[in-house]
Chain A
Amino acid sequence: MKRDEVYQALIEILKNSLENPIDFEKVNETTKIYPDLLPNSITMMYVALAIEDRFGISLMDADFSKINTVGDMLNYILERAK
């Protein structure tokens, strides 16, 4: 999978996870996931489950304390999807 494709899919998942839409033009790989994008644990859970379904990977043993930004999440998905 190409990095751009994964990034677009990830942004789509993040868009679906928000109740009120925000300006995703300003979102980039350095944007912090918590609390800038995902305000609570249930939205984090939603995103994790959506990533599992979309990319066919398991995040059950993932250490989410190390995933702070959109870029971290992108790298993590690319690493697991290999």
Chain B
Amino acid sequence: MKHTWLRWLMKITGWPFDLFYLRRKVYYEDRARQKKHLKGGVLLISNHRSWWDFASYFFLFFFHRVRPVVSYEIYHKSKGLTFILDTMGAIPLKKDPYDFTWMKQVEVELRKGHKVLIFPEAHFIAKDELATFYPSYVQIALDTKVPVIPLYTNGCYGFPKRNRVMIGAPLDLATMTEQESTPHDKRNAGNQVVREKINALREQTHRREKSSWLSFRDFPLDFARVVLWFHAWLLFRTKLDRHADRQYLKKEGDYIIVSNHTHFRDPLLLICLFWRRRISVLTADVVFGVPKEKKIRAWALRHIGCIKIKRGTMDLKAIHECSTVLEKGRPLVVFPEGHIQRNETLSGFRDGAALIAARTHSSILPVYLAYPKHWWGRVHVTFAPLIPAPESNTMKAIQGTTQEVRRCLNELEAQAKEKEA
């Protein structure tokens, strides 16, 4: 309390840093119970991803007095750090199983109506996973009867990354652990409840992050989508043969678009066709050009969502990039023929698309692009129903799915040729 004016000075001067560097986005599990509604003593429990978590929560609860619990070693690491942590109101904790002084101090602070922040993992975890939670905080919550607010932070700090925090609804651990008979069981049950809740918040944050439509990193891709859509509308002039196929253009989630490849315009055309979504295209390395000479082209292709693959080699990096794109909930375009087929006949299908589908459990959407005979004609686009991912991760199942995709595309090709005739 002795550093009240210093704490405010730190908050006010550090606020631009928080705004532009930490770039925090806050989500609520229950919008009716927001941080501004917090009153009285509250125990804030969060996962721990980085040292920046302290700064992030310090600015998140801007108008509240939040006292973080930090390890004794960190607290006394240097005089400067001790001063900063002291100003923030940190409570030092000795990692000694018989030292309960910090718990007494936390209880006093909670009874005074302050908020206390505890990272029960006791150290930060570099991976986006939850480690074991130490249950001491449950005992504090049971003794003081204060609500526990679970928090999740994705631990992404530094421009242009964005820190995403989800604030959960308050948990009354005393009521939730009533059925347990011994204090030991109560602690374990309460700890389990909080850990599961933070895990659920983690999944919710990922879902919301995927559905976010505004992203600085995707600006080149979004810009290209708008420009390409306009050019496509002007030059390519696509036409969906069946009205029902429109549902596929609006489909959400991750899936692999598999198409025939008869023209260099195919990827552009598909980007335009699926302009509502940020799609990535698996592109042969030759398209990127010689790295030293075609730097701008490679940069542009990479930023509009092209994933470079070296054909005929074991390019595991490309497969991992494709998996990342699909895990983000975005569609991926794969041309299984591997190169442009000028004679407009499907041939030489490869198993890459089904292999990626098996790894990510993504469905496959076959698309057939039929180019007109004259330059002024329209490109006819037809879709086959979604093909589920291979049932098992065996090569036999993967090849079975490839055969199924090929059969669908052959059917679409036959229909397109029949119509043309």
Interface residues of A (CB under 8 A from B): 16-19, 41-46, 48-50, 52, 59-60, 64
Across the interface, which residues of A come within 8 angstroms of B359, CB to CB?
Answer: 49
User: In the complex the two chains form, is A48's CB within 8 Å of B399's CB?
Assistant: no
Structural contact, B355 and A45, CB atoms closer than 8 A: yes
How many chain B residues sit at the interface, stated as a range, is 10 to 19
Residue pair A48, B395 in contact (C-beta under 8 Å) = no
B395 to A18, Cβ gap below 8 A?
Answer: yes
Q: Complex Cα distance A49/B317, Å?
A: 10
B312 proximal to A (CB < 8 A): yes
**Complex interface bits, B314-327 against A, C-beta within 8 A gives 1, otherwise 0:** 11110110000000
The answer for the CA separation of A46 and B352 in the assembled complex, in Å, is 9
> A64 to B315, alpha carbons, bound, how many Å?
11
**Which chain B residues numbered 300 to 358 have a C-beta less than 8 Å away from chain A?**
312-317, 319-320, 350-352, 355
Closest to B392 in A: A16
B residues less than 8 Å from A44 (CB atoms): 314
Cβ contact within 8 Å between A60 and B316: yes
Cα distance A60–B350 in the bound complex, in angstroms = 21
Closest residue of chain A to B311 (Cβ to Cβ) is A41
Query: Considering only CB atoms, which chain B residue lies closest to A43 in the complex?
Result: B395
* Bound-state Cα–Cα, A50 to B392, Å: 13
Residue contact B399 to A60, C-beta cutoff 8 Å: no
B314 CB contact (under 8 Å) in A18, A50, A64: A64
Sample of 9 more A-B contacts, CB < 8 Å, known A49-B316, A50-B393: A16-B394, A41-B314, A44-B314, A45-B316, A45-B352, A45-B355, A49-B355, A49-B359, A60-B316
Give the nearest-CB partner of B352 in chain A.
A42
User: In the bound complex, do residue B313 and residue A60 qualify as a contact, i.e. CB atoms below 8 Å apart?
Assistant: no
A14 CB to closest chain B CB, in angstroms? 10
CB-CB under 8 A from B313, the residues of chain A are: 41
Q: Residues of A contacting B317 with CB < 8 Å? A: 60
CB-contacts of B21-80 with A (<8 A): none
Contacts of B355 in A (CB 8 A): 42, 45-46, 49
* B396 interfacial by beta-carbon distance below 8 Å: yes
A60 to B319, CA, bound (A): 10
User: What is B's interface to A at a CB cutoff of 8 Å?
Assistant: 312-317, 319-320, 350-352, 355, 359, 393-396, 398-399
Cα of A17 to Cα of B355 in the assembled complex, Å? 11
Question: What is the CA–CA distance of A43 and B312 in the complex, to the nearest angstrom?
Answer: 12
Within the assembled complex, what's the spacing in Å between the Cα atoms of A16 and B314? 18
A42 touches B350 (CB 8 A): yes
CB distance from A44 to the nearest CB of B (A): 6
Quick one: which of A16, A17, A60, A64 contacts B320, CB cutoff 8 A? A60
Q: How far is the CA of A17 from the CA of B351 in the complex (A)?
A: 12
User: How distant is the Cα of A12 from the Cα of B39 in the complex, in angstroms?
Assistant: 58
- Tell me the complex Cα distance, A3–B359, Å: 27
Across the two chains, which residue of chain B brings its CB closest to A14? Answer: B395
A42 and B351 contact, CB distance less than 8 A: yes
For the complex formed, measure the closest distance between the CB of B71 and the CB atoms of chain A, giving whole angstroms: 29
Residues in A with CB closer than 8 Å to B394 are: 16-17
Q: Chain A's nearest CB lies how many Å from the CB of B365?
A: 21
In the complex, which residues of chain A have a beta carbon less than 8 angstroms from the beta carbon of B398?
Answer: 46
7 inter-chain pairs at a CB distance below 8 angstroms, sorted by A residue, are A16-B393, A17-B395, A45-B355, A48-B316, A49-B359, A59-B316, A60-B316
Which residue, B317, B398, B399, has most C-beta atoms of chain A within 10 A?
A: B398
Interface centre among A43, A44, A45 (most CB of B within 10 A): A45
Nearest 10 A/B pairs, CB to CB: A16-B394, A17-B395, A42-B351, A60-B316, A19-B396, A60-B317, A45-B314, A19-B399, A46-B395, A64-B314
Q: Once the chains are docked, how many angstroms separate the CA of A19 from the CA of B117?
A: 55
Who on chain B is nearest to A17 by CB?
B395
CA distance A28 to B320 in the complex (A): 30
Q: Which residues of B contact A42 (CB under 8 A)?
A: 350-352, 355
Complexed CA–CA distance, A50 and B314 (Å): 13
Count chain B CB atoms within 10 A of each CB in A49, A50, A52 and give the residue with the most: A49
* B41, chain A: closest CB distance, angstroms: 43
Q: How far is the CB of A43 from chain B (nearest CB, A)?
A: 6
List of B residues within 8 angstroms of A46 by Cβ: 355, 395, 398
Instruction: Report chain B residues within 8 Å CB of A41.
Output: 312-314
Q: Which chain A residues lie closer than 8 Å to B399 at the CB level? A: 19
Please, which residues of chain B bring their CB within 8 A of the CB of A43? Answer: 395
Cα-based distance from A43 to B395 in the complex (angstroms): 7
